[in-house]
Amino acid sequence: MAEALSKKEFSQELNNPECAVCLQPCVHPAQLPCGHIFCYLCVKGFANQNKRCAMCRQEIPIDFIEQPRLLQIPQPLEYSETEGFDGGYQWFYEGRNGWWQYDERTSKELENSYKNGDKTIELLIAGFLYVVDFENMLQLRRNDPSRRRQIKRDVSTIVKKGIAGIRTNSSLESQAVLSSSPTNEENSPLPITPSNTPQSPTSGRESPNQQNDLEATIESIQNLRIDTGDSIQNTKY
Determine if 6 is a binding residue for other proteins (CB under 8 A): no
Query: Which lies closer to other proteins via its Cβ, residue 13 or residue 122?
Result: 122
The binding track of 123-162 with respect to other proteins, each residue x by CB under 8 A or -, is: -x--xxx------------xx-------------------
Query: Which lies closer to other proteins via its Cβ, residue 45 or residue 162?
Result: 45
Determine if 58 is a binding residue for other proteins (CB under 8 A): no
145: left (phi over 0), alpha (psi -120 to 50) or beta: alpha
Determine if 20 is a binding residue for other proteins (CB under 8 A): yes
Considering only residues 8, 51, 57, 205, which one is a binding residue for other proteins as defined by CB under 8 A?
Answer: 57
Considering only residues 30, 32, 41, 54, which one is a binding residue for other proteins as defined by CB under 8 A?
Answer: 54
Determine if 164 is a binding residue for other proteins (CB under 8 A): no
In angstroms, what is the minimal distance from the CB of 209 to other proteins? 33
Query: Which lies closer to other proteins via its Cβ, residue 31 or residue 228?
Result: 31
- Which residues in this chain contact other proteins in the complex, by CB under 8 A? 20-24, 42, 45-46, 49, 52, 54-55, 57, 121-122, 124, 127-129, 142-143
